Structure 1
Amino acid sequence: MSIAVPAKFVTDFASVPWIFQSVIPSWGRYGKAAVIHDYLYQTHRIIMGPAGRLVIPVSRKEADLIFSKGMGDSGTSVLKIKIMYVAVRVFGYWAWRKRK
């Protein structure tokens, strides 16, 4: 699956608390996956097809799994994928609800 994010979309990349950024910075191999994850958290949907006519609702769990898969596809280490996936599952609830 290919997910396009609008060019003017604003992201903070990986939302890593400053205290952990020496170990997991906001940008890395997982940067593109983080942008897609932010987009899914803000819109709760994937827009596909010609002229964006196909809109697919996305659950928080699906958004987090897409993030995990994207990190794997980018060559992010398995350990970082696990840490970041657990972090979004545990702490992502508030960001998800804020956008709903």
Structure 2
Amino acid sequence: MYTEYPLIHLEKVEPGPGEKSTRFRVRIDCQFEHLGRIYTIPAGFKTDFSSVPRPVWPLIPPHGLATVPSIKHDFLYDYQIGEKEIGRKRARWEVDQAFLRDLLAEGMKPFQARLMYGMVRLFGRPYWIN
């Protein structure tokens, strides 16, 4: 099974022991720009989109307009993009700012985009560090 989005081709990943069942794998390398540099999300990269509990989905959908921004955000967090160049706090802030801009650019309602941004600012730090 695979799902096609404007930027990213995905396939559902069968969960392994202890893994979430909502993970997807990027099927084809795809590129995007962040802070003036081009990055490639490699085929095989796994994502869960946004870590939003199911009961909150009507308010904050983890996919749809949030799909591409969430995958890019996951990639930037996983590889801690920018940390060596501009420092840990600044790099994470830049990644989260890009997430907000991407959500708005995709057409998400501003209150939803800001709510998602607020959630990654509040709860994202442990994921950045690990």
- TM-score scaled to structure 2, two decimals? 0.61
* Equivalent position of 2:101 in the other structure: 69
Matches within 5 A, 1:41-80: 41-45=77-81, 59-80=91-112
Structure with the bigger percentage of strand? 2
What SS does the aligned partner of 2:41 have? Answer: coil
Structure label with greater radius of gyration: 2
Matched, 1:4 2:36: no
Q: CA RMSD in A?
A: 2.1
How many percent of aligned residue pairs carry the same amino acid? 31
- Extract structure 1 runs of 4+ deviating beyond 4 A: 55-58
Matched, 1:88 2:88: no
Unaligned runs of 5+ in 1: 47-54
Structure with the bigger percentage of helix? 1
Between the two structures, name the one with larger relative contact order (CA 8 Å, sep ≥ 6): 1
- TM-score scaled to structure 1, two decimals? 0.78
Aligned length: 90
Distance of 2:85 and 2:44 partners within structure 1: 21
